[in-house]
Amino acid sequence: MKPLIALLTSLLFCSCADMYVTKTDVAGGSHSIVSGDAKDYDAKNGIRMVTNCRVAEPPKAIYVRPFCIDNAIFRGDHTASDGEMPIRKAITPITFAGELKQQLGKLAPTRILKEDETPRTGWLVEGEFTLVDGGDPIGRFFFGTFGVGRSILALHVRVTDVNKGMVVYEFDMAGGSRNQGRHGTVRASGLGHATPFDLVNAAERIYLVLEPNAFRYGERANIALQ
């Protein structure tokens, strides 16, 4: 019975819609960049990378510049008709910036920059979309649990420490609805438009990447070690 429960649990997590970091560049103390991607990782030792003890300081403010989508591949199910697709593509960066503001506001006061604005302090978060694929709801209806019709979102994120004038974190992200079927979940749309779910999941993942203890593990009110 226990092996069966373990198998079902693993299948559940494997099919969850989510976003994941696929490659990371971290600034070193001498403004060097240290990279880590899938080939640098193993289950026993984690990410194999060398850096020094200097880390980015917590931001006093965060500024979000809407991500560029000009060169992104934009396809799949997004609207009721193809005529709306250019509009949907144009407003996707604004929608995502709003989701990022909501999530990163948990770290520090956050605002969205206008096109002609430049931050003077704190962190600047910007990047580019590379793929926005809404998938196929018909495929999800019939064979969604096998990954047919799944949505895909891929983007590049860059975090700059404005005070130091250097990029401190830079990473690629990818994910989507994965093996969600017709019913969907709280993270996936099922038969609806999948991209809004993917944008929310991506914004949340960026926050989780930048906040080392987002769920406040280990915090307690009055229990001390003896």
- Give residue-wise pLDDT tens across range 179-213: 675 655 655 656 567 889 899 999 999 999 999 88
Tokens of 34: 């240290």
What sign has the CA pseudo-torsion 184, 187, 192, 194?
negative
Return d(Cα 191, Cα 189) in angstroms, integer.
6
Helix (H, G, I), strand (E, B) or coil at 79: coil
Mean pLDDT of 49-67: 76
Return d(Cα 113, Cα 129) in angstroms, integer.
18
- In-domain check, residue 226: no
Range of the domain at 74: 60-210
Return d(Cα 77, Cα 97) in angstroms, integer.
21
Average pLDDT, the chain: 78
Total number of domains in the chain: 1
- In-domain check, residue 153: yes
Burial grade of 45 (CB within 10 A; 0-12, 13-18, 19 or more) = exposed
Of the two residues 13 and 161, the one the predictor is more confident about is 161
> Using an 8 Å Cβ cutoff, are 72 and 131 in contact?
yes
Percent of the chain scored above 70 by pLDDT? 68
What pTM was estimated for this model as a whole? Answer: 0.77
CATH code of the domain covering residue 83: 3.40.50
Whole-number pLDDT of residue 76: 84
